[in-house]
Amino acid sequence: MTDQTHNPDAPARRDQLTGEGAIRGTARMEAFADAVFAIAFTLPIVEIVMPSIDRDGAALGPDLVALTPHYAGYLLASAVIGLYWVQHHFSGAIFRTTGHWFVIATVLFLTAIGFIAFPARVLAEHFPDVAARPAAARYWVVSLAVVALAWLLKWSVGVARGHIDARLEDDYVRRLMRRFRLVAAGNVAAAMLVFINWQAGLALSALLMAWLLLPPETPRYTTRAPVIEGES
Amino acid sequence: MTDQTHNPDAPARRDQLTGEGAIRGTARMEAFADAVFAIAFTLPIVEIVMPSIDRDGAALGPDLVALTPHYAGYLLASAVIGLYWVQHHFSGAIFRTTGHWFVIATVLFLTAIGFIAFPARVLAEHFPDVAARPAAARYWVVSLAVVALAWLLKWSVGVARGHIDARLEDDYVRRLMRRFRLVAAGNVAAAMLVFINWQAGLALSALLMAWLLLPPETPRYTTRAPVIEGES
Amino acid sequence: MTDQTHNPDAPARRDQLTGEGAIRGTARMEAFADAVFAIAFTLPIVEIVMPSIDRDGAALGPDLVALTPHYAGYLLASAVIGLYWVQHHFSGAIFRTTGHWFVIATVLFLTAIGFIAFPARVLAEHFPDVAARPAAARYWVVSLAVVALAWLLKWSVGVARGHIDARLEDDYVRRLMRRFRLVAAGNVAAAMLVFINWQAGLALSALLMAWLLLPPETPRYTTRAPVIEGES
Amino acid sequence: MTDQTHNPDAPARRDQLTGEGAIRGTARMEAFADAVFAIAFTLPIVEIVMPSIDRDGAALGPDLVALTPHYAGYLLASAVIGLYWVQHHFSGAIFRTTGHWFVIATVLFLTAIGFIAFPARVLAEHFPDVAARPAAARYWVVSLAVVALAWLLKWSVGVARGHIDARLEDDYVRRLMRRFRLVAAGNVAAAMLVFINWQAGLALSALLMAWLLLPPETPRYTTRAPVIEGES
C-alpha cells in the first residue's frame, strides 16, 4: 500500500494512501485536538456563578463554600478530559500519519470530548439531591461509554487505515488495541449496569477511569527507536 | 515572480512575493485557523442549560431527555465545523506559503466559521416548532452559503497569489478548484431555493454537506511527492 | 551582546541575552498569541442571544433580523482582532527570538486584544440609540488607542532587547517602526479628538484601521533571505 | 536509565524512560498548556456584562465607568495567568522531554490555572464592599497558594522523572528549584497569614507575584548551549 510497509524507517510521502485525501503528519491533527481538549477543559469555569455583589458582604465566605458542588463539577470535568488528553498525547507517538477517514474519526471523538463536561456538571451539581442521583449517574456513565467507544473508533480507524508508525512491533500495537477494547467494553458494561444498580455502574466506571491513569506500555520498535520529535 | 516558478522543488524564501508583506510557511496560519475551528467547535456546549438543581430531583431524567433539541444543535454545529476543518486540514497540504491577502481572506473565512454554530442552534432548537421551520431553515441554508462562498474566496485568493505548492500537477489543482466552485454554486442555489421551498433548499444543502464528507482526490505531483511534514 | 550581532546568519543559542531568562525561538510565543487571538475572535458569538423558543414561531424571521446590531458587533470585533492578528502574523517573520521582557510585553498587548471585543459590542449594539452614540464612540476609540499603544510597546521592547532578525536591513526595520509609531500616534490623536467631536474621532480611528489593512513592506535582508519556516 | 545520562548532547529516543508511556518532546505538552493558558486568559471577558440597551442612552458613559471593578477583575486574572504563562514559557527551555507522570502533573497544574480567574473576579468585584474583603482576600490568597503548589509539583515531577535537559549545569537547576520552592513556601505562608490578618496575607501574596515578574536566571550549560528551537 505504501513505501513504509516495505521499509518502515523511510519517511512517508504526501501522495501515499490513495483515497484518503492528502496524507499528512500528525502535527496539525494533534494541534486541533489539543485545542479542543484545552477548551473543553477550561470552559466549565464560566459555569460557576459568582455570589452576587448585591448580597450582604459578610455572607461571601459561606456563599463561596456553598459553591462546593460546582467546584466538584469543574474538577470532575478536568479529571476526565485531562485523562483522555494524556491518552491522546501518548497516541500521538504511536500514529505517524493522518488521512481523511482518520481525521473524520478524530472529529467524532472530539465531539464526545467537547460534550463530556456537561454530564460531569450534571453529576456533581445534582449529586447532593438524593432523588436525582440515579438519573445523574446514568447520564454520566452512558456519556463516558460514548467517549470510550468514540476513542476506540478513532484508534481502530487509524490502525485499519495504515497510520500506525510501521516501526513499532506488531505485538506491541496489538497489546495497545486490547487495552482500549477492554476499556470500551468495560464502559459499555458499566452503562448497562448503571440502569440496574446505579451505584455499581458508577463504581465500575470510576475503576476504569482509574485504570487509564496508569501509564501505557512504553513503545517497542522493530528498528532502532526514532529520535523524539522537536529535539534540538 | 518567484524562484519556485522556475524550480518547484526549491524552498521558498521570505522576501518573495513583493507586496504581500512577509511570505511565510502555512504553519502559523493553520495554527490560528485550527484554534478558531476548535473554539467554534467546542463553545456551543456552554449554550446547553443544565436542569435547575431547585427542581424535584426525580424530574432530572425527563429534564435531560427534554434537552434533545439542544443536543441536536450541538451535534449539527460540530458536524458542519468539523467537516470544514477536515477540508482545511487537507488544504494545508496543498498550499505551501502565505502572504498578506491570503491571511486576510482566511480571516474572512474564519469569521463565517465562528458564526455558523449560531444558525445551527437556531435550526435545531426551533425545528420542533412547525411555524418556525421555514425561517430557521432559511437562516441556516443562507449561513451555510456564506461559509461556502468565504471558503471559495480563501481558496481563490491563495491560488491567485501563488501560494499553491508549485510541485502539484496543474490539472490536479484545477480539479480541486472545480470541486469547491461546485460546492459554492450548489450552496448559493440552495440559498435561493430555500426561499421558494424550504424543504428542498434544506435537502440540497444537506446533500452538499454529505458530498464534502467524501475524501478529496489524493494530490498528484509533477516531481517526486514531498515527504510529509513533521516526519521523524 | 550576542553572537548574532557579529554574524547575523548564525543561529541564536539559548544562553544568549543574559538577564532575559531563557532565550527561545518565537514559535511558542506565537502559539500562545495565536490562541488568545483565536479565542478573542470567536468568543463574541456566545453574546448573541437566540430568540426564545417560547415565542410565536412565526416571529422567528423578524426576531433574527432584529439581531442586526449584534451581528454588527460580532463583525466589528472580528475585523479589528483579525486585522491585528494579521499584523502579528507578519511580525512573526521579523522577530527571531524572545526573552523575558518581550514575552511580558506580549502578555500586556494580548490583555488589550482580549478586551477589545467588549468595546466593539458596546459600539455596535448601542449605536442605534442616538443618545448613546458619543459615549459608545469614545469608549471604542479610546480602547483602540490602548491596543495601538500596547502593540507599539511590544514592538519597541522586541527591538530594544535585540530580538529582531539580525539579517534584516536596518533601514527596513526603521521604516516598520515608523509605521507603527504613526499608527499609535494617530490613534492617540483620535482618542483626544473623540472627546471634542465624536464623529471626527471615530472617522480618524476607522481610517487608521483601514491603513493597517494595507500590506506592510516586504522584508529586505542584508544577506540572502532566509528560507521560510516549515518548508518541506 | 537513558542514553542521555551518558552523553547529554545525544538526542533522546522514544522508548527511553520505561514505565512512562511514550517519551516525547515537550512541543505538544506546551501546545496544550499554551491553549489552556490562552483560554483561561481570555475567557473572563465574557463575564463583563454590557450595560443594557434598554436603559437611557445618556447613561451609557456612567454605566461603563461603573464597570470598573469588572475591568479590575479582568486585569487581575490576566496578570496572574500571564505571569504563570511566562514561567511556563521559560520552563519549556529547561525541560527536554515528557512522560506519563509529567503530563499528569501538568494537567493538575492546568486545572489550577483554569480556575484562578474565578478568585480574581471574586476579589476585584467584591473588594468595593468592605464587609466582603476578608473573605475575598482569603479566597484569592488560598487559591494562589494552590497554583504555586501545583506549579512546584509539576516542576518536581519533571525533575524527578529525568525530563530536565541533561546539558544544563546541575547547580543551575538546583537554583531554579530553590526559587520555585521559595515561591511555594511563601504562598503557603501567605495563605496562613491571610486568616490572621487579611491585609498582611494579601500583601505578602502580591510581593511574591511581583517577584515572579523578575526574569529567571539565564540557563547555564555544561556543554555548548543548544541552538534555539525553530531556527531557520
pLDDT band of A10, cuts 50, 70, 90: confident
Q: How many residues does chain B have?
A: 232
- Please give the pLDDT value at position A151: 97
Measure CA C214 to chain center.
Answer: 14
- Which residues in chain A have Cβ-Cβ distances shorter than 8 Å to B34? 28, 31-32, 35
Q: At A25, which helix (H) or strand (E)? A: strand A24-25
Please report, in angstroms and rounded to a whole number, the separation of the first and last CA atoms in chain D: 33
Tell me whether residues B15 and C46 touch, CB distance under 8 A. no
Which is more confidently placed, C5 or D203?
D203
Nearest CA distance, C78 vs chain B (angstrom): 6
Tell me whether residues D99 and A57 touch, CB distance under 8 A. no
Scan residues 160-189 of B and list those with Cβ closer than 8 Å to A. none
Nearest CA in chain B to A111: B78
- Are the CB atoms for D103 and A89 separated by under 8 Å? yes
Name the residue among C39, B85, B34, B92 with its Cα closest to residue A42.
Answer: C39
A20 in contact with B, Cβ within 8 Å: yes
Whether the pLDDT of residue D1 is over 70: the answer is no
Nearest CA in chain B to A16: B218
Query: For the segment A141-165, what is each residue's pLDDT rounded down to a tens digit?
Result: 999 999 999 999 999 999 999 999 9
Q: What are phi and psi of D25, to 5 degrees?
A: -70, 175
Copy the grid coordinates of residue A42: 477550561
Alpha helices in chain A (DSSP H): 3-6, 27-42, 60-65, 68-91, 100-115, 117-126, 133-160, 170-196, 198-213
Q: Which of B12, B39, B125 sits opposite C42 (nearest CB)?
A: B39
Name the residue among D14, D32, D33, D16 with its Cα closest to residue D24.
Answer: D14
Strand ranges in C65-201 using DSSP code E only, listed in sequence order: 97-98
* Parallel/antiparallel/unpaired status of strands C97-98 and C24-25: antiparallel
C168 in helix, strand or coil? strand
Residue with the three cell numbers 494595507: C214
pLDDT band of C216, cuts 50, 70, 90: very high
Nearest CA distance, D166 vs chain C (angstrom): 14
The DSSP code for C98 is E
Nearest CA distance, D39 vs chain A (angstrom): 7
Sequence-distant (6+) residues with CB within 8 A of B11 are: C227, C228, C231
Q: Which of C29, C108, C114 sits opposite D42 (nearest CB)?
A: C114
Whether the pLDDT of residue D127 is over 90: the answer is yes
Scan residues 31-70 of C and list those with Cβ closer than 8 Å to D. 31-32, 35-36, 38-40, 43, 46-47, 69
Sequence-distant (6+) residues with CB within 8 A of B88 are: B30, B33, B34, B37
Determine the average pLDDT of the residues in B76-90.
97
Amino acid at C21: G
pLDDT band of D231, cuts 50, 70, 90: low
Q: In this complex, how many residue pairs, one in chain C and one in chain D, have their CB atoms less than 8 Å apart?
A: 172
Determine the average pLDDT of the residues in C182-189.
98
Whether the pLDDT of residue B169 is over 80: the answer is yes
Q: What are phi and psi of A24, to 5 degrees?
A: -135, 170
Determine the average pLDDT of the residues in B217-223.
93
A122 in contact with B, Cβ within 8 Å: yes
Name the residue among C35, C158, C39 with its Cα closest to residue C92.
Answer: C158
Whether the pLDDT of residue C177 is over 60: the answer is yes
- Which residues in chain C have Cβ-Cβ distances shorter than 8 Å to D213? 104
Q: How many residues does chain D have?
A: 232
- Are the CB atoms for C164 and C177 separated by under 8 Å? no
- Are the CB atoms for D67 and C122 separated by under 8 Å? no
Sequence-distant (6+) residues with CB within 8 A of A77 are: A40, A41, A44, A116, A117, A120, A121
- Please give the pLDDT value at position C209: 95
Copy the grid coordinates of residue A85: 488528553
Query: For the segment B16-75, what is each residue's pLDDT rounded down to a tens digit?
Result: 888 889 999 999 999 999 999 999 999 999 999 999 988 888 999 999 999 999 999 999
Whether the pLDDT of residue B232 is over 70: the answer is no
Name the residue among B93, D82, B19, B21 with its Cα closest to residue C89.
Answer: B21
Copy the grid coordinates of residue C124: 455596535
Alpha helices in D92-231 (DSSP H): 100-115, 117-126, 133-160, 170-196, 198-213
As a whole number of angstroms, the distance between CA D132 and CA C223 comes to 62
- Are the CB atoms for D113 and D37 separated by under 8 Å? yes
A99 in contact with B, Cβ within 8 Å: yes
Mean pLDDT score of chain B: 93
D21 in contact with A, Cβ within 8 Å: yes
Its pTM surpasses 0.80: yes
D13 in contact with A, Cβ within 8 Å: yes
Whether the pLDDT of residue D174 is over 70: the answer is yes
As a whole number of angstroms, the distance between CA D208 and CA D213 comes to 9
A221 in helix, strand or coil? strand
Tell me whether residues D32 and A37 touch, CB distance under 8 A. yes
Q: Which of D60, D94, D216 sits opposite C132 (nearest CB)?
A: D60
Sequence-distant (6+) residues with CB within 8 A of B6 are: none
**D95 beta partners:** D164
A168 in helix, strand or coil? strand
Whether the pLDDT of residue C3 is over 90: the answer is no
Whether the pLDDT of residue A16 is over 90: the answer is no
Copy the grid coordinates of residue A77: 470535568
- Please give the pLDDT value at position C6: 61
Query: For the segment B107-130, what is each residue's pLDDT rounded down to a tens digit?
Result: 999 999 999 999 999 999 999 999
Tell me whether residues D45 and C20 touch, CB distance under 8 A. no
C95 in contact with B, Cβ within 8 Å: no
Nearest CA distance, A26 vs chain B (angstrom): 8
Give how far Cα A72 sits from Cα of A78, A166, C71, D148, D154, Å.
10, 42, 36, 20, 22
A82 in contact with D, Cβ within 8 Å: yes
C213 in helix, strand or coil? helix
B17 in contact with C, Cβ within 8 Å: yes
- Please give the pLDDT value at position D4: 44
Whether the pLDDT of residue D3 is over 70: the answer is no
Mean pLDDT score of chain C: 93
**B25 beta partners:** B97
Q: How many residues does chain A have?
A: 232
- Which residues in chain C have Cβ-Cβ distances shorter than 8 Å to D89? 24, 28-29, 32, 98, 103
List the subunits that have 3+ CB pairs under 8 angstroms with A.
B, D
Sequence-distant (6+) residues with CB within 8 A of A113 are: A36, A37, A40, A81, A84, A147
Mean pLDDT score of chain A: 93
List the subunits that have 3+ CB pairs under 8 angstroms with C.
B, D
Whether the pLDDT of residue C1 is over 60: the answer is no
Q: Which of A14, A114, A139 sits opposite B228 (nearest CB)?
A: A14
Name the residue among A217, A169, A90 with its Cα closest to residue D18.
Answer: A217
Which of D32, D46, D122 is the mutation pick for testing A, counting most A CBs within 10 A? Answer: D32
- Are the CB atoms for B103 and B130 separated by under 8 Å? no
Q: How many residues does chain C have?
A: 232
- Please give the pLDDT value at position C231: 53
pLDDT band of C230, cuts 50, 70, 90: low
Give how far Cα C142 sits from Cα of C111, C181, C204, C220, Å.
15, 17, 12, 34
Whether the pLDDT of residue A13 is over 80: the answer is yes
Q: Which of B53, B89, B228 sits opposite A126 (nearest CB)?
A: B53
Tell me whether residues A100 and B41 touch, CB distance under 8 A. no
Q: Which of D31, D86, D231 sits opposite C11 (nearest CB)?
A: D231
Tell me whether residues D229 and C40 touch, CB distance under 8 A. no
Whether the pLDDT of residue D2 is over 70: the answer is no
Nearest CA distance, A192 vs chain B (angstrom): 16
Q: What are phi and psi of A13, to 5 degrees?
A: -120, 160
State what percent of residues in chain D have pLDDT above 70.
96
**C217 class by beta-carbon count within 10 Å (0-12 exposed, 13-18 middle, 19+ buried):** middle
- Please give the pLDDT value at position D225: 86
* B1, B5, B6, B11: CA torsion to nearest 10: 100
Q: Which of D46, D121, D132 sits opposite A60 (nearest CB)?
A: D132
* Parallel/antiparallel/unpaired status of strands D24-25 and D97-98: antiparallel
- For A116-155, letters b (16+ CB in 10 Å) and e give bbbbbbbbbbbbebeebbbbbbbbbbbbbbbbbbbbbbbb
- Please give the pLDDT value at position B231: 53
A227 in helix, strand or coil? strand
Instruction: Kindly calculate the radius of gyration of chain B based on its CA atoms and give it in whole angstroms.
Output: 21
Q: Which of D46, D56, D79 sits opposite C46 (nearest CB)?
A: D46
Copy the grid coordinates of residue A66: 456553598
- Taking phi first (over 0 means left), then psi (-120 to 50 degrees means alpha), and beta for anything else, what does residue C184 get? alpha
- Please give the pLDDT value at position B53: 87
- Are the CB atoms for B158 and B144 separated by under 8 Å? no
